[in-house]
Structure 1
Amino acid sequence: MYTASCLCNGIQLKINAEISQIFICHCQQCQKAQGTAFVAITPIQMKDLIITQGQNLLGEYYATENKKRVFCRRCASPLYSARSDLPDVIRLRVGIINEVLNIEITSHAFTSEKADWFEILDDHPQFTQHVQPSQ
């Protein structure tokens, strides 16, 4: 089990699942949403995510008709994204996890949209388009 929180600690989460995959997305939408070159995510079954504090602080933004991004309304920390066509799986932002994760990156997606100023220096698989995280 893992715990996670937003920047202001107003939202507290428990994750009742093993985290074994980290996907890096370089798409322009993730760059804008995160304010950086990429986002690091891990797929989690919605049933394995427990909001222990701050339910009232959850905000949602629909980046597309099919995909919402969930964030803290107080500190604006991105928490996860969810797609309406995959309602049982969320893509948790790895940076909000409190515990140390001793796993490697699984792959990079949307490398065709990668920020010009960022260089991928690892040997993990790279995909120019989207790769559906398995769960």
Structure 2
Amino acid sequence: MAEMDVALKEAMQIDGAIGVALVDHTSGMALGTVGGGRELDLTVAAAGNTDVVRAKLRAMEMLNISEKIEDILITLDTQYHMIRPLTSRSGKGLFLYLALRRDRANLAMARHRLRTIEQTLDV
């Protein structure tokens, strides 16, 4: 689990990061979180975004889309919420969830950094 903690702390170094979680989309449970607090309840966000991932996977199945989800982006007035499913065999069924302050984040750089973190994370 130390590697997970390091990865989550690294994600919090992304400009504008509010909070990050590693989530099991089969159960909705956050396996680890960093940040959040009063501004964002990461446990609730993990459970809620599990529904987003499940809905997108169902829609892709109904549309016979066999591609993998690279990431899901939710844009709010003041925040970006990024969901990045893990692609490694050990990470199957897990996703990284990152919330960013929109006025402080560079979306392209955040996506790049989260991709790099996801590729090096082995759970």
TM-score (norm 1): 0.30
Greater share of helix residues, 1 or 2? 2
Q: Whose radius of gyration is greater, 1 or 2?
A: 1
Greater share of strand residues, 1 or 2? 1
